[in-house]
Chain A
Amino acid sequence: MKIRLAYTKKNEAKYIAHLDLTRVFDRALRRAHIHVHYSQGFNPHPKISFGPPLAVGVEGEREYVDIDVQEVEGLSRKDLLAKIVEKLQAQLPEGISITDSAIRPEGSKALMAVINLARYKLIFPETLKLEGEEVAKACERWLARDEVRVVRWHKGKESERNIRSMVNSIEILSAGNQGIVLRLDIVTGNKGSVRPAEVLASIASLEGLDIDQDEMKVIREGLYVADANGQLNDPLKEKS
């Protein structure tokens, strides 16, 4: 039975690297005495899969994981799910809280195949002394560009890409005494993505904004399945 969980990744848990998450969940499941299905082959691994990676140090308010669990005789699927959520939660690290859960239909697509939009919140403390208007204008100018080509080094290889096309929108949620809060909607999924820090760095250098990114706090608010009309759907309820 394939289940999908929504969870938070906050506080110290934000330092758990994406590559370590499978191990963290596998061990929590084993402590909870929940049996999962394993892949066949030379080196069997538990069938646990996640959505798009969250950068180390960034908090997530609604992340997703799919787990292929073994069914238990004499227990309905619904009851089993409720029990799993309860038992697993007790074994998860502080900062990871299961907030929602669903049973997935047979043959449904993987999270990485359906999630195509990530929504981030960027918080600048007032100590940065940024003017809301100044930031808004810089973002506007940046968004008005047709393309923004950025060179990136990955595993010793140089690649150039257009990061403008990966940013759907930038919105100023608030600008006042508490500092400035931005919302970024970024394209994500199997075809790659761009980190909010990269976008900010680009805005800072191209539009002449002085930002100390060390002081900036980044939170991923949610991940969505955006349809052709721009409608954002929750991966937990999404049909495919």
Chain B
Amino acid sequence: MNYNLKINSAEEVRRTIDRILPQVIKPGRYVGGEWNMIRKDWAKAGVRTAFVFPDVYEVGMSNLALRILYGLINSYDDFLCERAFSPWPDMEEKMKEAGLPLYSLESFHPLSEFDVVAFTLQYELSYTNILNILNLSGIPLRAENRISPVGEGKEYPLILAGGPCAYNPEPLAPFLDCVLLGEGEEQFPAILEVIKNGKAAGKTKNEILLELSSLRGVYIPQFYDFEYYPDGKIKQVITKEDVPGVIKKAVVKDFSSAYFPEKVIVPYTEAVHDRVMLEVMRGCTRGCRFCQAGMIYRPLRERSPELLLEQAEKAIDATGYEEISLVSLSTSDYTCINGVLENLMAKMQERGVSVSLPSLRLDSFDVEIAQQVQKVRKSGLTFAPEAGTQRLRDVINKGVTDEDLFRTAYAAFKAGWSSIKLYYMIGLPTETYEDLDGIVEQARQVLAQAQKAGRRGARVTVSASSFVPKAFTPLQWVPQDSMEVLQAKQEYLKERLKSKRIKFLYHDVSASFLEAVLARGDRKTADLLEWAVEAGCKFDSWSEHFNFDLWQQGLAQTGLDAHFYAHRQYQPEEILPWDHLSPGISKEFLLQEYKNALQGTVTPDCRRKCSKCGVCPTVTKPVLNRHK
């Protein structure tokens, strides 16, 4: 669905937005010009890439991948990289009125003027925004409609995608030209190099895509076809060209020397994560069975403390940020965490810079660390026991005990914190109401610790999200609970967590259901996405915009059986929609872990004992610091 784009040059865009912006909320999101923004010479660039985060500016600007890849691509003389985000619906409306296409924040060029439009796939509920952005740019949704004969008519940009959801890109496959699996630090520039040379040599889109398919981690959806059984399961994947049968993820050769963005863009409008993000390590050794990130980012690679201190200093000099966050999937597991924190805080204090940790685990949580990092702010601590009973925590391999939780809660209350947030998942495989009772009991026990520690007026927030099975996790075969069952479980908890001291938060079950459909969807689900976008679905991860009625209409119209994807037990022997892709871990390992889950057998942290997942050393070697 294209609306009438009347404006097609950067100059016109610039003129038009000055008139529109006074009428929209937070106009600062649509003009760029932030500190450290890179504005390169458009005419001289060999390849022009628009990096698009399919959500609002404040969310997108918090993303580490954007920060890394933006700085990295622009560090090449021949490459230019600019940014674009989803306009908030008020802005979208004004754009449509004015016939204004979506444009980049650096040079105000319409997205259709770029050679490459690259989307980062961070969550399934952003998929409609991706298609909406193509619509707003006047770019045809389906790849097959973007081919124009050489020398005739409009040449459209190549549409790229990467990020965690790229491990099952099938719901988006018909819309994408090229998908990058794994880490982009080396492979993204390699892709751009091929495109640059192809463009210079006047190659066709098909020729360029074929050449790209030989790069590690590159998946070209249109070269693969699916054949299905009458029951809808996949019969086989057919390769249409000489392309790899299984695409293995790309990994940076040396994480320590990998590009780190020091001069990150500092937004004027506050971003969700508005601080320096120091990536202390990549990967996680815990092996929680529901966690996709824990599987796809393997193996664990730590950066050295010396390097981190150097990067921190440079980043503060370049940005002036007042906060540094040590980010990773589980930062308190970083080998030298105490030393790094101490040194960092000693260095940063006089510059008025604070240090924070985004995620804390119970068993390695040290109240002293928390006290150090949150010297003054006693506002809140977050823990994720994920399940209410030891039995169920063993099923998901979350190696945390009640004692861990209560001991830590006591220490935290004693140290001055007055509120603790507990994260759980409901609808996990084998869950019973006893496990839900366990959640209630834990919340009460944590409050009891507050009393024991003499902390009056303490509060506990219990947040329960609904389990969504994800590709490449040991629980990928598991059906999601029906919406009715999930709702009943939410009601059950709500009833039992009624207390002035306890706040209970939960998510809309229909959004989790849709997330499951897209997370485990095959190529057939693309029709639903297309229908939904044309019907006006967007910002599905924002409860105020999520319109499940419309999605249900879409299901009826397209005849897609959503339960087939969300509520069906996938069989170990069936071909999964993502079997032709690989993050390095073997299917045997995932199956073994699935069996272990059902038996409640715990698999140790792979720092202690290798669980033979298939990643090390074939994909790359793990890197660990020595204790100092």
Contacts and interface: CB of A to CB of B under 8 A. Distances in A.
B318 interface: yes
B32 A12 contact: yes
Interface string B318-357: 1111100000000000000000000000000011110000
B269 A27 contact: no
A30 B376 contact: no
A98 interface: no
Interface residues of B, number: 29
B105 to A, nearest CB: 10
A43 B322 contact: no
Interface stretch (A16-24, A101-109, A138-146): A16-24
Contact of B28 (A17, A27, A38): A17
A20 B317 contact: no
B26 interface: yes
B430 interface: no
A27 B377 contact: no
Contacts of B320: 26-32, 91
B27 A24 contact: no
A91 B19 CA distance: 29
A27 B266 contact: yes
Contacts of A32: 320
Given A27-B322, A56-B27, A57-B22, A17 B269 contact: yes
B270 interface: yes
Interface in A1-46: 11-13, 15-17, 20, 23-24, 26-32, 35-36, 38, 42-44, 46
A210 interface: no
Contacts of B19: 214-215
B291 to A, nearest CB: 33
A93 interface: yes
B31 interface: yes
- Please indicate which of the listed interface residues B34, B35, B316 has the most CB atoms of chain A within 10 Å of its own CB: B35
B32 A214 contact: no
Contacts of B21: 15, 57
Given A31-B320, A214-B22, A20 B268 contact: yes
Contact of A57 (B27, B35, B318, B351): B27
Contacts of A35: 350-352
B75 interface: no
Nearest to A56: B27
Contacts of B266: 27
Interface string A88-100: 0001011100000
Contacts of A95: 33
B319 A27 contact: yes
Interface residues of A, number: 31
A30 B35 contact: no
B103 to A, nearest CB: 14
Contacts, number: 77
A43 B376 contact: yes
A35 B352 CA distance: 9
Interface string A65-93: 00000000000000000000000000101
Nearest to A38: B352
Contact of A43 (B352, B353, B377): B377
Contacts of B33: 11-13, 93-95
Contacts of A28: 35, 320
Nearest to A19: B270
Given A20-B269, A56-B27, A26 B322 contact: yes
A94 B36 CA distance: 11
Interface in B12-58: 19, 21-23, 26-28, 31-35
B268 A42 contact: no
A72 to B, nearest CB: 13
Interface in B246-284: 266, 268-270
A46 B297 CA distance: 39
Nearest to B268: A16
Contacts of B28: 15-17, 20, 56
Contacts of A20: 28, 268-270
A24, A30, A32, A215 pick with most chain B CB within 10 angstroms = A30
Contacts of B26: 17
Contacts of B22: 56-57, 214
Nearest to A46: B352
A214 B319 CA distance: 35
Interface string B344-387: 00000011110000000000000000000000110000000000
Interface in B98-128: none
A215 B350 CA distance: 48
B294 to A, nearest CB: 34
B321 to A, nearest CB: 6
A26 B376 CA distance: 19
Contacts of B316: 30
Nearest to A93: B35
Interface in B415-460: none
Contact of B322 (A11, A30, A56, A94): A30
Contact of A31 (B27, B34, B319, B350): B319
Contacts of A215: 19
A123 to B, nearest CB: 13
Contacts of A16: 28, 268
Nearest to B27: A15
Contacts of B321: 27, 30
Contacts of B376: 42-44
A24 B352 contact: no
Contacts of A46: 352
Most buried by A among B26, B33, B316, B351: B33
B34 A30 contact: no
B415 to A, nearest CB: 15
A20 B376 CA distance: 23
B320 to A, nearest CB: 3
Contacts of B318: 31
B27 to A, nearest CB: 5
B55 to A, nearest CB: 20
A13 to B, nearest CB: 7
Given A35-B350, A42-B376, A94-B33, 18 more contacts: A12-B33, A13-B33, A17-B26, A20-B28, A20-B268, A26-B322, A27-B35, A27-B321, A27-B322, A28-B320, A31-B317, A35-B352, A36-B352, A56-B28, A91-B35, A93-B33, A93-B34, A214-B19
24 contacts: A12-B31, A12-B32, A17-B268, A17-B269, A20-B28, A23-B268, A24-B268, A27-B35, A30-B316, A30-B320, A30-B352, A31-B317, A31-B318, A32-B320, A38-B352, A46-B352, A56-B22, A57-B27, A91-B35, A93-B34, A93-B268, A95-B33, A214-B23, A215-B19
Closest 6 CB pairs of A and B: A27-B320, A12-B33, A30-B320, A31-B320, A57-B22, A15-B28
Interface of B: 19, 21-23, 26-28, 31-35, 266, 268-270, 316-322, 350-353, 376-377
